[in-house]
Structure 1
């Protein structure tokens, strides 16, 4: 009797926690050789400083043992965390372009939404070359162990979004699915009410809507620079981030089903 092929298990992608709004699983996407990304191994999130005791129990139940924090110095100082079961690795990337945009507004410069989109594209282009070493280190961490890992910045949308895109591409996930995952932030992320109220006092709403959401032109600007620099995303992964064929095989063994 021939057995029917196993159907990949589908689990909730977004995980509801009291202290985050954008915590989600990268599992379930179709990857290389028809294999799917393993559930409950790779998570992306906004920052973890506000987790409740129930949240911490939920993370432990998921087996999450490692956290990669992409936030800058001031972000970590104002919203730091140290959870005993969670080994934290800081790969700090300063949000310099966003800081510059807010400074311009506060100095009286009337930014347009289009100018702000351009500044966000500058942010993403800075990930590609200027901060490539941080993302290369992320891939080394992923190869060192398959203990469940969460990576995050403050809102879990830009630095985290680029990291998620790179990981999924390295696992053979299609560009279309990568974009789908990236845009989920607009459905999930909720600005902290106190921060939103404070920002609204000095920054026009159309500018905040650009800064606090994601758009495909942001991510596409990073793809375009990586491809211009290396010739293709595969070559960028291999030559700039050190994710060559052997590394991708190791990643597949850890994070793809089958």
Structure 2
């Protein structure tokens, strides 16, 4: 597999969690995803002054925020010089867990995994218009961008997987990049989410099964990633060529 080095990631923005550059993977026609163009992260709401200065010096022009309204209000992260594009996908899985507990049912670990898989299927189906806007923005604003949600692992992880898939990165490399969350994510004391420990351990991690559920839904509902990208994502041949020209370079 062709996985970029992430050895220095924890030092890039120490006060952020799961912040990383998607560059370095080998994509379409052996071209490499450009470094310094697309970053993924957690909420960015707890940056130290030093990390805020680092972020402002990275050439970023836009911040795409997948968080829901209450999440964004609880942890605002406006950064001078960086335009915010809210592409809200409201969280549901914690609420579903709390509803079950309220009914007297404590979910098992397997049930928590199933809830997460359902969440990812929702990204594919109900979330499609939001992710289509994500791709449209990348093409229309060809400047460095960071996209994130609260933990930077689910809504953000699915967006990263779709983007790498559109750029022709091998599926195994997409999964490996997705699973880096388990290495770099740290639970934020600023985020309030309560539930049984064995359930929260599932909700605050990523598993191959989550992303597998999304890609299985893409296959079942749309006939594969290529058709999903051309259909709901609005990436026809012309748009795919544009995206690749912006984000790929000779390896």
TM-score (norm 1): 0.90
How many pairs were matched up?
246
CA distance in 1, matches of 2:23, 2:8: 7
Q: Secondary structure at the match of 2:40?
A: strand
Which of these residues, 184, 208, 212, is aligned with residue 200 of structure 2?
Answer: 208
Asked if structure 2 preserves the Cα contact closer than 8 Å seen for 1:98 and 1:120, the reply is no
CA distance in 2, matches of 1:194, 1:75: 11
Deviation string, structure 1 residues 141-196 (Cα, Å, up to 9, x no partner): 10012211000000000000000000000001000000011000000101024658
1:14 corresponds to: 9
Structure 2 vs 1, CA of residues 113 and 61 (structure 1 numbering), >3 Å: closer, same or farther?
A: same
Which of these residues, 101, 106, 113, is aligned with residue 105 of structure 1?
Answer: 101
Structure 2 vs 1, CA of residues 106 and 79 (structure 1 numbering), >3 Å: closer, same or farther?
A: farther
Which of these residues, 70, 74, 93, is aligned with residue 78 of structure 1?
Answer: 74
Unaligned runs of 5+ in 2: none
1:230 aligns with 2:222: yes
Q: Secondary structure at the match of 2:32?
A: coil
CA distance in 1, matches of 2:190, 2:37: 33
Moved over 6 A (4+): none
The offset of 1:237, in angstroms, is: 0.6
The offset of 1:64, in angstroms, is: 1.3
Which of these residues, 127, 132, 137, is aligned with residue 131 of structure 1?
Answer: 127
1:30 aligns with 2:30: no
1:4 corresponds to: none
The offset of 1:10, in angstroms, is: 6.2
Structure 2 vs 1, CA of residues 195 and 251 (structure 1 numbering), >3 Å: closer, same or farther?
A: closer
1:47 aligns with 2:36: no
CA distance in 1, matches of 2:146, 2:190: 26
TM-score (norm 2): 0.93
1:163-242 equivalences in 2 (<5 Å) = 163-193=159-189, 195=191, 199=194, 203-242=195-234
Asked if structure 2 preserves the Cα contact closer than 8 Å seen for 1:21 and 1:190, the reply is yes
Asked if structure 1 preserves the Cα contact closer than 8 Å seen for 2:56 and 2:79, the reply is no
Unaligned runs of 5+ in 1: 1-8
CA distance in 2, matches of 1:43, 1:243: 21
Asked if structure 2 preserves the Cα contact closer than 8 Å seen for 1:19 and 1:50, the reply is yes
Query: Alignment RMSD, CA only?
Result: 1.8
